[in-house]
Amino acid sequence: MPPAPVISPDICNDSVSSTSSSQSSSSSSTDSDLPPPPNMDLKILQYEEERKMNIKKSVDARKAALREHREQLIETERHQMRMLNRSREMEQIQLLAELQREQETRKRDSLLLQQKFQEQNTNQVKNLSLKLREAETRQKQLEIEEQLKARERRCKIDLLFETGNLVTQQVFTSLRACKQTQHLSQETQHTILRIQDAARSLTTIREHCSRRDVMSEDVANAELYLRDLNDALPLVQKGVEEANSKVVEVTPVEEVKIPDVAPPQTAASGDAGNNSGLPNELLQCVPADALKLYVTLQDNLNKVADSLKEFTTTTAMKKLKFDLQKATNTPLNAIASTSWSHVRDKLDKLRRLLSGQAVEVGDKMVASGSHPLGRLYCMDLLARKFVKQGEDQVSAHFESAFPLAIVIVSLWSEFPDFGKLLMAQFHSKCPYLVPYYIPRQEGQDDEDHYRALGYIYPDGSIEKQDKFLKRMSGVVRLYASIITQQVPPGCNSPHPHGIQHGWSFITRLVKLVPHPDITATVLYDFLAVSGHDLQHTYGRQFNKILHAICKDFFPLLRKVSPEGGGGPLSRLESFLQNSIKKGQIPKPEGMLPSNFFTT
C-alpha cells in the first residue's frame, strides 16, 4: 500500500489562518453592514462568543491533527528511508559478495590457465630442444655426407681428368702412328680440333676446382667433355687408318714453328725475303696471307650484297623483309648472361630462322625459307647486327660480349656461310682485326680514307678520336670473346674459329709498323680478353712473344705515339707490366662462370 501523502504543517496553519481571517472579515463586514440593533440581546452576544470559541477549538484540534499527521508522515518517511537504506546495504553486500566470488573464480581460473600455459611451455621447450638436437644431428650428418660427396666429386674430377689425358694421349699416339698426315680427311681434322677443345675445357675445369669446392655442375661438364673425347677417339683412329692405307709417297712432316717476333721492316729494308709479289710498302700495312683472306671475304660480301639487292629493294618483299628483320632483332637484342637456358632459347630461335624454319613473330609465324634469298638475307643481317652489338653494347659493357660469343660460335659451327659474312663484317668495321692499316689510295679524299679505316661521320663530320677508339674496343673484345669461347654443350662440330686464330692475329699484328692510338688499343683489348687462354694454351711460347712485345714492339709504339703516350699506350703498358710481374694474365672481367651451362 502506498504511503499517505505528507502535508506540511505550515500549509495547514496557513489554511486555518486564512479560514479564520475570511470568517472574521465576513463577520466584520456583516456586522458593519447591519445597523446596530437598538437593543442587543445578551444571549446573542454570548452565542457569538461561544461560536468563536468553538471555531477556535475546532481550528486548534485541526492543527493538532495535522501536526500529528505530519509527525506520522515524517516518521513513516524516516522508516521508509531506513528500510531503503537497509535494502541498499543488503544489495551492496550481496553485490560485493558476488564480486568477491567472481574474483576468486577468475583468480582460480587464471591460476589454472597459468599452470596450463606453464605445462605447455615446458612441453614446447622440451619438443624444441628435441627438435634442435635432431636438427643438429641431421646437420652434422648432412655436413658429413656433403664432405663425402665433395671428396667423391673431387676424386671423380681427378679420375675424369686422368681418363681424358689417357684418351688424349691415345689420340696423339694414333696421330704419331699416322704416316700420311697430309691425307687426313677434313672431318678427322675437325675431330682433332674438337678433342683439343674438350681437353682444354677439362683442364680449365680442374684448375677451377683446385681453387674452390667441386660442384655437381663441374662433374657434369667434365663427363660431357670426356664423352666427347671418347666419341671422337675412334673417329680419329679410323681417319688415321684410312690415311695410312693410301699408297702415296711419304714426305717428312716438319714441326710447326712459332713465328719469331722481330721489329717490323721499313721501306728502306728493300724487298729482300718478300716472296708474296706485293710491294714492301703494302706488307708494312698488312701480312700477305691476311690480305688474301681479307680480299676473299670482302669479295664474298660484295657478291652477297649484289645477290640481295633485288630482294632488299623490291616493294613486294617489303613486308617479308620487315618480318625477317623483326625475327632477327628480337632474340638478338634479348641475349644476356642471365642463364644458359635464357641464351639457349634465343639461340634456338635464331637457329630455326637461319635453317629456314618458321619462327613466331608477334602473333604470326614467318619463315626465311619462304623465299629463295630469305636465309641468305637473315645471315647477312645477323652478321651485321652482331658486329653492331660490338660497336654499341660491348663498347659500353664489356661483359656483354661473352653471351653473344656463345650464340655466334654455335651458329657459326652450324652455318659456315654465316661465319664468312661475320668475319667480312668484322674486317669491314674494324680492318685492324685483319690486321690491316689501309693506306690512302691515290686521289682518295679524307672522308673516303677515314671511312675505310673504320671512322664514321655521324653529323657530316668525322667522329671524335675517343669515340672511335671506344667503338673499336667493343668490336675487338667481341672478336676475342669468340676466339676464346668454348663450344657449348650439344654442339657436335669443333670450334669454327678457335684459339689458334688468336695466336695468328697476335703474331701478325706485332710484325707490322704500329700506328698511334689504334694499335695500342687493339693489342690491349685483345690481350685483356684472350691473353689468359693464349697463355694457358701455348704456355712458354706465348710468354716468349709477350716478352718480345715488351722488349721490341712496345718501344716502337712509344715512338709513334704523341707526347705523353696517351690513354691507350698507358693502359697497354700497365697491362704488360702487371702480366710480366705476376707471370700470368688474369681472366677477363665479366667472364661467364664455369657452371654457366648448367644454369
20 or 144, which is more confident: 144
The CATH homologous superfamily for domain 290-598 is GLE1-like (1.25.40.510)
Average pLDDT over residues 179-190: 66
Per-residue pLDDT of 526-546, as tens digits, reads 999 999 999 998 888 999 999
Confidence class for position 523, pLDDT limits 50, 70, 90: very high
Range of 119-133, 169-183, 352-366, 497-511 with top mean pLDDT: 497-511
Whole-number pLDDT of residue 278: 60
Whole-number pLDDT of residue 184: 67
Average pLDDT over residues 364-370: 87
Q: Which burial class, exposed, middle or buried, applies to 80 when counting CB atoms under 10 A from its CB (0-12, 13-18, 19+)?
A: exposed
Contact 224, 161 (CB under 8 A): no
Average pLDDT over residues 76-89: 91
Confidence class for position 35, pLDDT limits 50, 70, 90: low
**Which residue ranges make up each domain of the chain?**
290-598
| Cross-strand partners of 365 | 360
Confidence class for position 377, pLDDT limits 50, 70, 90: very high
On average, the pLDDT of the chain sits at 82
Q: Which burial class, exposed, middle or buried, applies to 341 when counting CB atoms under 10 A from its CB (0-12, 13-18, 19+)?
A: exposed
Whole-number pLDDT of residue 202: 76
Report residue 20 CA to chain centroid gap. 117
Instruction: Scan for cell 537504506, then name that residue.
Output: 85
Per-residue pLDDT of 118-163, as tens digits, reads 888 888 888 888 888 888 888 888 888 888 888 888 888 888 878 8
Whole-number pLDDT of residue 361: 85
Helix (H) or strand (E) holding 364: strand 364-367
Q: What is the Cα–Cα distance from 594 to 599, expressed in whole angstroms?
A: 10
Cα-Cα end-to-end distance for the chain: 100
Q: Is the pLDDT at 580 greater than 80, yes or no?
A: yes
Q: Is the pLDDT at 25 greater than 60, yes or no?
A: no
CA-to-CA separations, 168 to 172, 178, 193, 194, 534, in angstroms, rounded? 6, 15, 12, 11, 20
Whole-number pLDDT of residue 81: 92
Q: Is the pLDDT at 211 greater than 90, yes or no?
A: no
Q: What is the Cα–Cα distance from 99 to 534, expressed in whole angstroms?
A: 94
Q: What one-letter code names the amino acid at 437?
A: Y
Instruction: Scan for cell 683472306, then name that residue.
Output: 293
Per-residue pLDDT of 392-420, as tens digits, reads 999 999 999 999 999 999 999 999 999 99
Confidence class for position 182, pLDDT limits 50, 70, 90: low
Instruction: Scan for cell 694474365, then name that residue.
Output: 585
Whole-number pLDDT of residue 46: 86
Residue 71 C-alpha cell reads as 509527525
Least confident stretch, 87-96, 130-139, 268-277 = 268-277
Q: Is the pLDDT at 3 greater than 80, yes or no?
A: no
Q: Is the pLDDT at 424 greater than 90, yes or no?
A: yes
CA 370, 371, 376, 381 torsion: positive or negative? negative
- SS3 of 131-187: HHHHHHHHHHHHHHHHHHHHHHHHHHHHHHHHHHHHHHHHHHHHHHCCCCHHHCCHH
Q: What is the Cα–Cα distance from 183 to 249, expressed in whole angstroms?
A: 11
Q: Is the pLDDT at 251 greater than 60, yes or no?
A: no
31 or 495, which is more confident: 495
Whole-number pLDDT of residue 432: 95
Nearest-CA neighbor of 196 among 222, 240, 229?
A: 229
Least confident stretch, 101-115, 149-163, 396-410, 460-474 = 149-163
Backbone angles phi, psi at 47, to 5 degrees: -60, -40
Least confident stretch, 5-9, 179-183, 425-429, 458-462 = 5-9
Whole-number pLDDT of residue 261: 41
580 or 258, which is more confident: 580
Whole-number pLDDT of residue 57: 92
Nearest-CA neighbor of 224 among 536, 492, 534, 495?
A: 492
Whole-number pLDDT of residue 455: 93
Whole-number pLDDT of residue 186: 66
